Amino acid sequence: MLQRILTLKYLGFSLRKIEEIMASRSIEQQLSEQKELLIRKKRHLEEIISAIEVMENSQESDKYGFLIRLLNLLTEDEKIQEQYRTAGNLEKRIRLHDYSTSSQGWMEWVYERLALREGDRVLELGCGTGLLWQANAHRLPSGLRLTLTDRSFGMLEKTRENLSACREIFESKGICTEYRICDADSLALEKGKYDCIIANHMLYHVKRRKDCLREIARGLKPAGNFFCSTIGHGHMRELHEIVAAFDARIEMPFQSITKPFRLENAVPQLQAFFPRVERMDQDNDLIVDDIEAIYDYVASYPGNAVCILEQRGEEFRRQLRERMDREGAIFIHKSAGMFRCHI
């Protein structure tokens, strides 16, 4: 028993947790949780070491200020908050998708599957810059009641600005739009209010995802639909490999951020609240011959990418240019799709 206690203590368990494990005689789940905790701690230490190395190699006169700037972007929450504080980073990433092999853009593809009808009440969680509605303004049915939400005030203001260009179309169709600050982690919806609820590439950010999905199911009308999109494991793989080969210190946190809710593991999570779940994949890849589009995409990564590229940006551009000279363009595989869920 003493050996067990010492082993668990060595693995980082508190004495209180060790007492619970010894009493329950079940260790598999606790070890799995502890493993995840240690992996997160390891990743955090590696990020701190990387930040110090970046500072050591920087040409900044104020090295402490530069280090503080890097360290302020270390936690996942801070990365995401900084990422979506304004629309700039999102717009840089969207630009890369202009080099799609599909004749139909993502927002057009999504919209066609919504099958909206006249007078529908629609809620979008995490509306971003409002591109879904801006790109499809002429196709919207009359009498829609749109409630567009985002937890970022900056994003919501950008949506309002973008959709102001569609004011005449909306007015002629009698479409009403409401803008609301809303955090999906504390979602509270009126029961049976909406015909359609949309969560476009955002559920992997939601920590209390079960509570969020439960509330979404509650907010739908009996014949309503919930649409949510996400990515798959191999999404943008070639680009990630290019970045890792150039400088392994550059963080690519979207790979870990999206892991909890991807195409491959979303169905069981959704089926806990929606008996009928249908998966739809978009057939699409990227062929990019624009160096700046790739550079801007990488610079928009949450975390330290922009700081490293401030130092090595021209070198990165040169490597991209050499590859494009050899291959003509860079192929990047996409894996993205959407689920239609019914109560």
CB-based contacts of 289, cutoff 8 Å, min separation 6: 99, 324, 328, 329, 330
pLDDT of 291 over the 80 cut:
yes
pLDDT of 333 over the 90 cut:
yes
Q: So what's the pLDDT on residue 73?
A: 53
The secondary structure of 185-233, three-state, reads: HHCCCCCCCEEEEEEECCHHHCCCHHHHHHHHHHHEEEEEEEEEEEECC
DSSP for 91-105, written as a single string: HHHHHHGGGBSSSS-
Q: So what's the pLDDT on residue 295?
A: 94
> Mean of the pLDDT values across residues 205-214?
95
Q: So what's the pLDDT on residue 179?
A: 96
Contact 255, 236 (CB under 8 A): no
Q: So what's the pLDDT on residue 101?
A: 93
pLDDT of 343 over the 90 cut:
no
Report how far residue 250's alpha carbon sits from residue 238's, in angstroms, rounded to the nearest whole number: 15
Q: So what's the pLDDT on residue 70?
A: 58
User: Where is 301: in which H helix or E strand?
Assistant: none
CA 320 to chain centre: 25
Nearest to 233 by CA among 269, 200, 204: 204
Per-residue pLDDT reduced to its tens digit, 264-280: 999 999 999 999 999 99
pLDDT of 75 over the 60 cut:
no
More confident residue, 166 or 305: 166
Q: So what's the pLDDT on residue 68?
A: 60
> Mean of the pLDDT values across residues 140-160?
93
> Mean of the pLDDT values across residues 335-342?
96
Tell me the pTM. 0.75
Helix/strand/coil for 170: helix
Which amino acid is located at 88 in the chain?
G
Residue 90 binned pLDDT confidence (cut-offs 50, 70, 90): low
Residue 262 binned pLDDT confidence (cut-offs 50, 70, 90): very high
Report how far residue 214's alpha carbon sits from residue 189's, in angstroms, rounded to the nearest whole number: 10
pLDDT of 1 over the 60 cut:
yes
Report how far residue 164's alpha carbon sits from residue 134's, in angstroms, rounded to the nearest whole number: 9
DSSP for 230-280, written as a single string: EE-TTTTHHHHHHHHHH-TTS--THHHHSTTS-TTTHHHHHHTT-SEEEEE
Centre a 10 Å sphere on the Cβ of residue 94 and count the other Cβ atoms it contains.
18
CA 189 to chain centre: 23
Report how far residue 85's alpha carbon sits from residue 155's, in angstroms, rounded to the nearest whole number: 7
Domains contained in the chain, CATH given: 83-342 (3.40.50.150)
Report how far residue 288's alpha carbon sits from residue 242's, in angstroms, rounded to the nearest whole number: 13
